[in-house]
Amino acid sequence: MRLCVFCGSSAGSDPVYMDQATRLGEALARAGIGLVYGGASVGLMGAVADAALANGGEVIGVIPQALKQKEIAHPGLQDLRVVNSMHERKALMAELSDGFIAMPGGVGTLEELFEVWTWAQLGYHEKPCALFNVHGFYDGLSAFLTHVVNQAFLKDEHRQMVIVKDDVAGLLDAIQNYEPPKVVKWIKKDAQT
């Protein structure tokens, strides 16, 4: 099994983010779960990769040529795949992975998570998508998603597709026991107004 981790190329403002990235990388390696990530050596991306590598884990980095310098490609990876675009990066990361975790990060992290979640909602895959809610980082987003459900723009079954956990053990357990919902995305034409 391999899990894709989306996260910041920054360390963030609180040391707990780097600590939890390290714990996640260690836990993945110890569980024999491969890591697929954005290929950088800095920020949370570097921390999760370094920890997985230090514990004998499989690590695959995927980075666009244009970001190889900016995100500082990880020099210690035996498997660093350089692609031509962000579209290729995300497609390859998805293809290589059996599930997805978003750690704290910026708009790129959110965009990556929302894309794979959309694909799951549309039935393109049945892989688990998760938010690693370190130090309440995703509390605001979780509340907003509940608001989206309450406003009838998202079915609750699709909202529940996104696992939200604040500890590594609970996160990995929920991912490994994930059962995709059997809900049709499309609404009936006569229900549209």
| Domains of the chain and CATH, by start | 2-178 (3.40.50.450)
Q: Given this model, what pLDDT does residue 193 score?
A: 38
What secondary structure letter does DSSP report for 128? -
Q: Given this model, what pLDDT does residue 69 score?
A: 73
Q: Given this model, what pLDDT does residue 67 score?
A: 84
Distance from C-alpha of 133 to C-alpha of 141, rounded to nearest angstrom: 10
Query: What parts of the chain have a pLDDT lower than 70?
Result: 71, 183-193
Phi, psi of 129 (to 5 degrees): -120, 135
Distance from C-alpha of 128 to C-alpha of 124, rounded to nearest angstrom: 12
Q: Given this model, what pLDDT does residue 66 score?
A: 87
